[in-house]
Amino acid sequence: MPITANNPDRKTWLEVPHDSDFPIQNIPFGVFLTRDDIVTIGTRIGNTAIDLGALHQLGYFEGIPLTDDIFLQDTLNDFISDGKKTWRLVRNRIAEIFDAENSQLRDNEDHRTVVLFGLDEIEMQMPVQVGDYTDFYSSKEHATNVGTMFRDPDNALLPNWLHIPVGYHGRSSSIIPSEIPVHRPKGQTLPPGAKEPVFGPSKRVDFELEMAFITTDANHLGEPIPIEEAEDYIFGLVLFNDWSARDIQTWEYVPLGPFLAKNFASSISPWIVTLDALDPYRTESPKPEIEPLPYLRSKGKKSFDINLEVAIQPENSEETVISKSNFKHMYWNMSQQLAHHTVNGCPVLSGDMMGSGTISGPTPDSYGSMLELSWKGEKPVKLNDGSERKFIEDNDTVIMRGYCQKDTAYRIGFGEVKTKLLPVFQPKKK
């Protein structure tokens, strides 16, 4: 079935600013609270949010096999369970409804009133209930930088890294959408030179520039997903800020991996951009340095050319872009990650989320964490307001953005994930 929604020549009757991440060729999916305090599934074109629940009730999805309440839910999980064919039918239909030549909704004011919302009339929610969240570690530059800093510059990459898309389980309950602030975590750390750990606020709160993909129900317990089928089970991607407390991490992570250093929060951009929408931006992954085992051999363009950037905005000040990277730097692609994750029969379900790991590029201005940008605090990063940062300070806001653009005036973007770091939590006096 062709992805007609991607037609680059299509115009829409909705207004779309020139630099919007959401032209009619994007059509992402999200969940929002409306002015009537109702939670619904929706999409976005330009700066207009579109209530898919209302569109469906008005009959605009006639002919597509959807249950009546599929969009009247507070998560996308059930819609994602419907599978790739249905996602494509719905996205193609939405493109038709908003096509500049289609008068059906355009000229029906009653319908428009219940379907369309200004961005100031809605509040974005978590788009899915995340069952399980896995974080990979798939940027060779990032793994090399971390290995150089903390282990041995001559053997920065561990022996398994080129053979395995290394990953580990993360915490679902603390994944939150953009705009929800995060408290600086407290925890145990071992100060430099100390023999005993101390307890207190983390002094090294960091972001990690990642993207995450969301899956549909992929397999049953015991059944691996072959690499060539992996993309059938990927619904789409979001920007992902994997908040990290480096001092807590250093003390706790041997031998079972990061835990409290990571699970205090992970922030995502709220619109899921579908794999279909990203199709025109496919690209090769970096050439493998060694041939992986057969179950990890990936054919064709399985990576995506997605420009990424990170900015820090101190309180009451302007933002400074401190890193520009690209998703295409990932050594291991999503198909390899999903094939690896399931090769032992581990079940993957609708709404599961898989992070890429920090996406660092080859140059120092493309590193994806403060740990790398400030080289563990040795080289503070200068901001436009004259201040410096080794790590993130209280009341700083971290903003990540991402978009694809090639041969067209428009771009396909992710919007942003924007999170303020609050001071440590103060319990209310009883």
Shortest Cβ 175–a second copy spacing (Å): 10
Shortest Cβ 222–a second copy spacing (Å): 4
> What is the C-alpha separation between 389 and 393, in angstroms, rounded?
8
Contact between 352 and a second copy per CB under 8 A? yes
The residues, any chain, with a CB within 8 Å of residue 426's CB and separated by 6 or more, are none
Give how far the C-alpha of residue 61 lies from the chain's centroid of Cα atoms, to the nearest Å. 28
Kind plus residue range of the DSSP H or E element containing 414? strand 412-422
**208 annotated as a binding-site residue:** yes
**262 annotated as a binding-site residue:** yes
Whether 56 sits among the annotated catalytic residues: the reply is: no
Q: Which of 251, 339, 238 is nearest to 295 (CA)?
A: 339
Q: Contacts with a second copy: how many residues (CB under 8 A)?
A: 65
Contact between 368 and a second copy per CB under 8 A? no
Question: Binding pattern to a second copy, positions 301-340, x when CB under 8 A?
Answer: ---------------------------------------x
Q: Which of 11, 112, 163, 406 is in the footprint of a second copy by CB under 8 A? A: 163
Contact between 197 and a second copy per CB under 8 A? yes
Contact between 176 and a second copy per CB under 8 A? yes
Question: Binding pattern to a second copy, positions 135-154, x when CB under 8 A?
Answer: --x-----------------
CA distances from 424 to 45, 201, 265, 399 (A): 38, 7, 13, 20
> What is the C-alpha separation between 268 and 400, in angstroms, rounded?
9
In this complex, which beta carbon is closest to a second copy, that of residue 180 or of residue 321?
180
Contact 210, 359 (CB under 8 A): yes
Contact between 362 and a second copy per CB under 8 A? no
Contact between 125 and a second copy per CB under 8 A? no
Contact between 185 and a second copy per CB under 8 A? yes
Sign (positive or negative) of CA dihedral 286, 291, 297, 299: positive
Give how far the C-alpha of residue 429 lies from the chain's centroid of Cα atoms, to the nearest Å. 37
Which entry of 142, 329, 340, 341 is annotated as an active-site residue? Answer: 142
Contact between 356 and a second copy per CB under 8 A? no
Choose the binding region for a second copy from 20-28, 91-99, 215-223, 380-388 (rule: CB under 8 A).
215-223
Q: Which of 78, 31, 63, 77 is nearest to 50 (CA)?
A: 31
Please list the residues that pair with 353 across neighbouring strands.
Answer: 133, 214
In this complex, which beta carbon is closest to a second copy, that of residue 175 or of residue 209?
175
Contact between 171 and a second copy per CB under 8 A? yes
Choose the binding region for a second copy from 76-84, 102-110, 156-164, 394-402 (rule: CB under 8 A).
156-164
**132 annotated as a binding-site residue:** no
Q: Which of 263, 283, 317, 395 is in the footprint of a second copy by CB under 8 A? A: 263
> What is the C-alpha separation between 204 and 372, in angstroms, rounded?
12
Contact between 248 and a second copy per CB under 8 A? yes
**358 annotated as a binding-site residue:** yes
Shortest Cβ 266–a second copy spacing (Å): 11
Contact between 288 and a second copy per CB under 8 A? no
**184 annotated as a binding-site residue:** no
Q: Which of 308, 334, 348, 399 is in the footprint of a second copy by CB under 8 A? A: 348
Q: Exposed/middle/buried for 256, CB within 10 Å: 0-12, 13-18, 19+?
A: exposed
Q: Which of 131, 286, 288, 314 is in the footprint of a second copy by CB under 8 A? A: 131
Q: How many CB atoms lie within 10 A of CB 306?
A: 25
CA distances from 385 to 251, 316, 388, 395 (A): 34, 10, 9, 15
Contact between 260 and a second copy per CB under 8 A? yes
> What is the C-alpha separation between 364 and 351, in angstroms, rounded?
34
Structure tokens at 239: 């920007």
Q: What angle do CA 183, 368, 277 make, to 5 degrees?
A: 100
What residues are annotated to the active site?
A: 142
Q: Interface residues with a second copy (CB under 8 A)? A: 131-132, 137, 158-160, 163-164, 166-174, 176, 180, 182-183, 185-188, 190, 196-199, 221-224, 245, 248, 251-260, 263-265, 293-295, 340-341, 343-349, 352, 422, 425, 427
